[in-house]
Structure 1
Amino acid sequence: MKSYEQIIKVRDYEVDSQGIVNNANYLHYLEITRHDFCEHAGTTFRAMQEQGLDPVVRKIEIEYLSSLTLGETMISRLSMERKGARFVFTQDIYNATNSSHVVHALVTIVCLENGRLSRGDLLAEAFREYLA
C-alpha cells in the first residue's frame, strides 16, 4: 500500500495556555494532510467539485498519544483503503525530533456525486494508486 507524508511545523497560535497544541488543531493537521495528498495524487477538492464529486467526512476516530509544543515539527502520514462505498484514511502524526507517536486517527469519507450518495467509483479511480 502506497502512503503519503508531509512535514508540518507547529505555529504559535496553535498552542494553548499550557504551551501544548490544542486538541482541535490536530483535526486541522489531519485535514491539511488529506488536502495536500489530493494535490499530490493529481486532483484538488475544487476539481472534484467541478466534476460533481464531493468527498465528505462521515466519521473521525482520533487517539491522542502525546503532545506537540510550540516550534516542534511533525511528520503527518496517511494511507487509505476502500471499504464498499466508504474510504478510510489511516492517519498518524509523529514528532519529527524524537519519533514519538502523537496522534492516530481513522477518518471515514463518503462520496456524494451531484448531491447524491454514491459508491465513490470516481474517487476510487482518482486514488487507485493509493488504495490498499
Structure 2
Amino acid sequence: MKDYIFEIQLKVRDYECDIQGVVNNAVYQNYLEHARHEYLHSKAISFKELTEQGILLMVSRIEMDFKNSLTSGDVFSVKLWIERQGVKMVFFEDIYRLSDNALCLKARVEAIAKIDGKLTRGEVFETLNL
C-alpha cells in the first residue's frame, strides 16, 4: 500500500443513518466523492471549471468493502492515495472512525476523463498533476 496523500475529517449526521441506526451504505459514496473533490481543491483544481472547459472527470467503477459501521455523531477520516492505470486514475480511499481508529470502509474508485465528449487516454490526469 502507498502512503496516503490526502485526508479529510467529517462527522456523521443523523439523517445519514438508516432504520438500523448505522450509516446507509449509499451515503458512503457521498463521503468518498466529497473527499475526492476536496483533494482536487487542495491541488487548486476546480471540478466546476473543468466541466465548463469541456473536461469531464467521471467515475467508471466503484468497489467498496464494508468493514465496520459508522453511527450518528461518529467523527471519521477519509484518507486517499491515487495511482494511474492506463486510461484511468484510481483512487484508493479508506474511511477510519477516529474514536477507535477502526477501519470502516476500503474503496477503489476508478475515474476516466472525457474532453468534449470523447474518451481520453488519461493524459489529462498528467496535465492536472494528479
**Structure 1-normalised TM-score?**
0.92
The answer (yes or no) to whether the contact 2:77–2:96 under 8 Å persists in 1 is: yes
Change (3 A) 1:2 1:94: closer
| Structure 2 unaligned residues grouped into runs of 5+ | none
State the alpha-carbon separation in 2 of the partners of residues 127 and 5 from structure 1. 18
State the alpha-carbon separation in 1 of the partners of residues 31 and 69 from structure 2. 13
State the alpha-carbon separation in 1 of the partners of residues 129 and 54 from structure 2. 17
Where do 1:70-89 residues align within 5 Å? 70-89=72-91
Q: Secondary structure at the match of 1:127?
A: coil
State the alpha-carbon separation in 2 of the partners of residues 58 and 29 from structure 1. 17
Aligned-residue CA RMSD (Å): 1.2
Mean Cα displacement is larger for which, 62-71 or 117-126?
117-126
State the alpha-carbon separation in 1 of the partners of residues 128 and 4 from structure 2. 14
User: After the TM superposition, which segments of 4 or more aligned residues of structure 1 sit over 3 Å from their partners?
Assistant: none
Where do 1:42-121 residues align within 5 Å? 42-121=44-123
Change (3 A) 1:2 1:41: farther
State the alpha-carbon separation in 1 of the partners of residues 21 and 97 from structure 2. 16
Q: Secondary structure at the match of 2:26?
A: helix
State the alpha-carbon separation in 1 of the partners of residues 122 and 68 from structure 2. 34
State the alpha-carbon separation in 1 of the partners of residues 102 and 66 from structure 2. 12
Distance apart, 1:14 and its partner CA: 0.3
Match of 1:17 in 2: 19
| Structure 1 unaligned residues grouped into runs of 5+ | none
Aligned equivalent of 1:27, options 21, 26, 29:
29
The answer (yes or no) to whether the contact 2:80–2:91 under 8 Å persists in 1 is: yes
**Structure 2-normalised TM-score?**
0.94
Q: Percent identity?
A: 36
